[in-house]
């Protein structure tokens, strides 16, 4: 749990002892948190334009290591501008929702320069984003993005990106979103969206026969 802005730390809740334990010291709030398969904790620092990490297996609270960004705002391949959501896949490759650069960046393990995988600056641009804020990669390496300022959730597929939810304008109707900030899947494939502008959590049910109804993005 992020407690960075007030107390400069990330807390872990232990169900066994019903207590909080500090697992990372930070100098600002973490907009995104992620734990990879090796129990490495990642924190995206919006105000510092950087993603940092530390191993939860370290007995001593060591200094955080830089996972992405130089700490200086910018749009170069090694820079970030107000990062939000993060995701680390099974290969330990890091995906970053680079909000103010309107792109999603991929940093492969051991690399300091990223590749843009979504956004107008990508090698094969298929979608324009406006402050992406949440990202998830599925088992087939398809990318799902909360496109916050466009008030929608989009996903990649065989034929590029398609709009999944919030495809017909901003609003508070059941098929609309306002500043969709983050989202999560359950094991049935349903999607839960933090619809921050409407102050609600929206559940969109997975229906296999509905796949053809998604709105493709040219």
Could you report the per-residue pLDDT of 68-86, keeping only the tens digit for each? Answer: 999 999 999 999 999 999 9
Provide the pLDDT for residue 218.
37
Name residue 22's beta-bridge partners.
11
What mean pLDDT is predicted for residues 129-138?
97
Strands (E), 15-93: 19-25, 32-35, 40-45, 50-55, 65-68, 83-88
pTM exceeding the 0.75 threshold for the entire prediction:
yes
Confidence of residue 123 (pLDDT cuts 50, 70, 90): confident
The per-residue pLDDT of the chain, averaged, comes to 92
Provide the pLDDT for residue 209.
58
217 has pLDDT over 70: no
Give the C-alpha separation, 104 to 122, whole Å.
9
DSSP state at residue 62:
P
What mean pLDDT is predicted for residues 168-183?
93
- Portions of the chain given CATH number 2.40.10.500: 126-218
What mean pLDDT is predicted for residues 54-81?
94
88 has pLDDT over 50: yes
Query: Burial code of 41-80, b = ≥16 C-beta within 10 A, e = fewer?
Result: bbbbbbebbbbbbbeeeeeeeeebeebbbeeebeeeeebb
126 has pLDDT over 80: no
Provide the pLDDT for residue 118.
95
The set of residues, in sequence order, having a beta carbon less than 8 Å from that of 189 and lying 6+ positions away, is: 206
What mean pLDDT is predicted for residues 206-212?
63
- Quote the percentage of the chain above a pLDDT of 90: 80
Superfamily for the 1-112 domain: TolB, C-terminal domain (2.120.10.30)
Provide the pLDDT for residue 94.
99
Provide the pLDDT for residue 216.
41
Domain made up of 126-218: CATH architecture: Beta Barrel (2.40)
Give the C-alpha separation, 191 to 206, whole Å.
8
Strands (E), 69-131: 83-88, 94-98, 103-107, 115-118
15 burial class (0-12, 13-18, 19+ CB within 10 angstroms)? exposed
């Amino acid at each position: 749990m992020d407690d960075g802005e007030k107390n400069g730390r990330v807390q872990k809740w232990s169900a066994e002892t019903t207590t909080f334990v500090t697992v990372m010291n930070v100098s600002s709030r973490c907009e995104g948190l992620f734990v990879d398969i090796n129990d490495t904790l990642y924190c995206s620092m919006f105000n510092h334009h950087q993603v940092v990490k530390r191993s939860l297996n370290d007995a001593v609270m060591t200094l955080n290591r830089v996972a992405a960004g130089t700490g200086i705002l910018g749009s170069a391949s090694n820079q970030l501008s107000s990062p939000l959501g993060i995701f680390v896949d099974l290969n330990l490759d890091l995906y970053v929702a680079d909000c103010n650069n309107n792109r999603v960046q991929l940093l492969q393990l051991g690399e300091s320069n990223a590749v843009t995988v979504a956004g107008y600056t990508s090698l094969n641009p298929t979608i324009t984003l406006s402050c992406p804020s949440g990202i998830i990669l599925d088992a087939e390496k398809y990318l799902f993005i909360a496109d916050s300022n466009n008030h929608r959730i989009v996903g990649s597929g065989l034929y590029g990106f398609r709009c999944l939810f919030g495809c017909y304008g901003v609003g508070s109707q059941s098929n609309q979103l306002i500043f969709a900030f983050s989202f999560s899947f359950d094991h049935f494939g349903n999607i839960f969206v933090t619809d921050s502008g409407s102050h609600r959590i929206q559940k969109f049910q997975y229906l296999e026969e509905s796949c053809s109804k998604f709105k493709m993005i040219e």
